[in-house]
Amino acid sequence: MGVNKNLYYFIAVLAMTVFNVILEAELGAEKIEVNKENNKKTDTLIEKLVIPQSFEQWKQAFKELAMQNDINPKVIKAALEDLKPDYEVLKLDASQPEFTRNIWEYLDNAISKQRLKKGSQLLKKYKKLFDEIEQKYGVQRETIVAIWAMESDFGRNYGSKSVIRSLATLAHHGKRSEFAQTELLEALKIIQDQKLQPDKLVGSWAGAMGQAQFMPSSYRKYAVDYNEDGKVDIWTSLPDVFASIANFLSESGWRKDEDWGVEVRLPNDFDWKLNTSSYELRFLQWKELEVNSINARPFPYIQRLASLFIPAGRFGPVFLVTHNFHIIKRYNNSSSYALGVAQLSRLLAGGEGIQTAWPREDKALSYYDIEEIQLRLSLNGHDPGPNDGKMGAKTREAIRTWQLEQGLAGDGYANKKLLKELREKAKIDLNNRRVMDSNDGRN
């Protein structure tokens, strides 16, 4: 096990080193500080993996921390006494997929015909319960069911791993050990408050629990004993599951009288400087800029704020999204997830599908493609966030800024074409530098 792990990281470092050499040669052998910093982080990770603090040593230190956080010694002993790390969790935490999915592939699964059919059946089956919960929490039933579907496939798959064991493994040796340690403390508090046996807390490899896939901290803050049986049960009690999801959204600021967004069409002369998620205008103001709904219908609540969301470039679907779209992202901070929940809920409510075709001819970028985009943006003086091969908000913002500098449409969309443009820009810069060096030599 240890040999394979070390080999995996040796290959990763070797690949990064080769890539850095290529970039340095391409750019004139100047030192790339961002890569040096990235390699330092990788070296630190390898060092921790090869010669870690033992699990037993970590466990002893954590027991003391739990005592300081008022966890009963009996609870600590029951949860941690014979606990061993779960190496499958470490494997899942450390894995980097070779390719990411394009958003349309994600949505094909999220809003499949089978899922729509099942969701519609369950809305009818539990109509009375949804009537009550919708009235109490002010969250539409279709949104609750959409999240339920996305998180656990309507309760059919919420994981079978021990939450305590998963979080302990991640706290000892994960990418976000401090976060996992905090969640583990919260999990022990659940066991203590609910008088549960540790093996009752089951969920995903990352520690998300039950049909609602709440992390322990979210469970303690938002989970609800709706059927008033004395237990907050998001594993087997549907009233508790539905009410807990609704309570999470309600407490996060959900607006019952507001839809999540509108699909729109941009004018040919659109000012791309307005394309940033932090820039909001009232629907009326977007209308004045000739941003119109895709079906030419009037915008709802024209005095409310909305921001642009362009998940697949200017030739794909474009949306104006509202406050509620960002509330969905609090449940899971992924734009693809939020659009999946949003569109699934709309279709369950009898609304229309996305009208504009996705650019399905675009091939998915690999992890290494995205990492290269991030590195090249860094070399061009932009801040795409960590060079982690993940397309986050900071990377998209850096892409937008670079596109605008090049006189391109700043849609923030990363594809093979963008990577080619970044590479071409590096060649031009290198050629210009050689000309300048040659001229300096003649003077």
pLDDT attached to residue 439 = 53
98 confidence band (pLDDT: 50, 70, 90): low
* Cα gap 242→147, rounded to integer Å: 10
Q: Which two tokens stand for residue 144?
A: 């609750």
Q: What is the mean pLDDT of residues 227-255?
A: 97
Instruction: Give the span between the Cα atoms of 155 and 344, in whole angstroms.
Output: 17
Non-local (6+) Cβ contacts of 145 within 8 A are 119, 122, 123, 154, 345, 348
* Whether the predicted pLDDT of 14 surpasses 50: no
Asked whether residue 361 carries a pLDDT value surpassing 70, the answer given is yes
Please determine, for residue 434, whether its predicted confidence score (pLDDT) is greater than 90: no
For residue 153, is it left (φ>0), alpha (ψ between -120 and 50) or beta?
Answer: left
- In terms of Cβ atoms closer than 10 Å to its own Cβ (0-12, 13-18, 19+), residue 13 is middle
Two tokens, residue 62: 């954590």
CATH number of 367-442: 1.10.101
Residue in this structure with the two tokens 């794909």, named with its chain if needed: 316
pLDDT band at 97 (very low <50, low <70, confident <90, very high): low
Query: Residue 318: beta bridge partners?
Result: 264
Strands 161-162 and 305-309: unpaired
What DSSP state is assigned to residue 273?
G
Task: For the chain, give the percent of residues with pLDDT over 90.
Answer: 76
Torsion of CA 123, 129, 134, 136, to 10 degrees: -170
Helices then strands, counting H and E runs in the chain, come out as 19, 7
**Length reported for the chain:** 443
pLDDT at 27 over 50: no
Q: Are 234 and 244 in contact (CB under 8 A)?
A: yes
pLDDT band at 246 (very low <50, low <70, confident <90, very high): very high
Which DSSP category does 202 fall into?
Answer: E
Q: 177-224 pLDDT, tens per residue?
A: 999 999 999 999 999 999 999 999 999 999 999 999 999 999 999 999
Q: Is the confidence at residue 317, as pLDDT, over 70?
A: yes
Considering the entire predicted model, what is its pTM?
0.84
Summarize the confidence of residues 308-327 as an average pLDDT. 96
Question: Is a pLDDT exceeding 70 seen at residue 38?
Answer: no
Region 234-239: what's the mean pLDDT?
97
Per residue in 365-417, pLDDT tens?
Answer: 999 999 999 999 999 999 999 988 888 889 999 999 999 999 999 999 999 99
User: What mean pLDDT, rounded, does the chain reach?
Assistant: 87
pLDDT digits over 154-168, tens only? Answer: 999 999 999 999 999
pLDDT tier for residue 438 given thresholds of 50, 70 and 90: low
Higher pLDDT, residue 32 or 197 = 197
Give the pLDDT band of residue 52 (cuts 50, 70, 90): low
Q: What pLDDT shows up at residue 32? A: 38
* Euclidean distance between CA atoms 22 and 1, whole angstroms: 32
Strand pairing category for 202-203 and 161-162: antiparallel
Instruction: Give 429's pLDDT tier (boundaries 50, 70, 90).
Output: low
The whole-number average pLDDT for the span 30-37 is 42
Q: Quick one: which of 232, 240, 81 has its CA closest to 164? A: 81
Starting at the edge strand that comes first in sequence, how are the strands of the sheet with 261-265 ordered? 281-282, 305-309, 318-321, 261-265, 292-293
Least confident of 220-229, 275-284, 398-407: 275-284
Contact 359, 312 (CB under 8 A): yes
Residue 30 above 80 pLDDT?
Answer: no
Structure confidence at residue 278 (pLDDT) = 77
CB 80 within 8 A of CB 58: no
Rounded mean pLDDT, 352-377: 95
